[in-house]
Amino acid sequence: MAVDGTAGPFEAATGDGPALGGPDREAAVLAAFDGLLRIRRVMAGPDAASRPAEWERSRPVRAVAIALEASGIEPSALDEEGRRCARGYRVSAAGPPTSVRVEWLGPPGSGAQYTASEALRRCAEVLGPLGWLALEYRGPGRHHYLEVEPAG
């Protein structure tokens, strides 16, 4: 049994899975984030809290999703039929292997596009002190998103 009470290993909420929540999930996310910080200290020493470890660089989608969820930012989610059912972040692979894309998505009519820039700014504020460089871009249809990669 996983730390979050589900069958199988802990899965980071990337925004492309089912809605997750509750005290068991919160405890599991905080344990995963603490584990991420411990990996940093073991791999790079006491000042490592501000730099992604090699483990994170090889799994940036998972690492960024854990950091965002641990900070209290809600992930988006999909229902059983694959339709977006919750407003929040979505983390996906982008370009180079260590780069990810963070979007702010929601179901139709949720107003996600109107709050995207502010929400993505909050995401960047969480990721910056953890050693992730997050740059905001505007794509087709004025769709805002972040390109995130390890700083340095």
Q: Which residue has the tokens 């979505």?
A: 90
Average pLDDT on 6-32 reads 87
Q: 3-state DSSP call for residue 98?
A: coil
Give 152 or 34, the one with higher predicted confidence: 34
Mean pLDDT within 124-130: 96
Distance CA 72, CA 68 (A): 7
Mean pLDDT of the chain: 90
Give the H or E element holding residue 43. helix 23-44
Residue 1: the pLDDT is 35
Rg (CA), the chain: 15
Q: What is the pTM of this model?
A: 0.90
pLDDT at 52 exceeding the cut of 70: yes
Cα 66 from Cα 88, distance rounded (Å): 14
pLDDT digits (tens, 9 = 90+) for 115-125: 999 999 999 99
* pLDDT tier, 48 (very low <50, low <70, confident <90, very high otherwise): low
* 32 HSE (CA, 13 A, CB side): 25
Write down the pLDDT at residue 2: 45
pLDDT at residue 6 is higher than 80: no
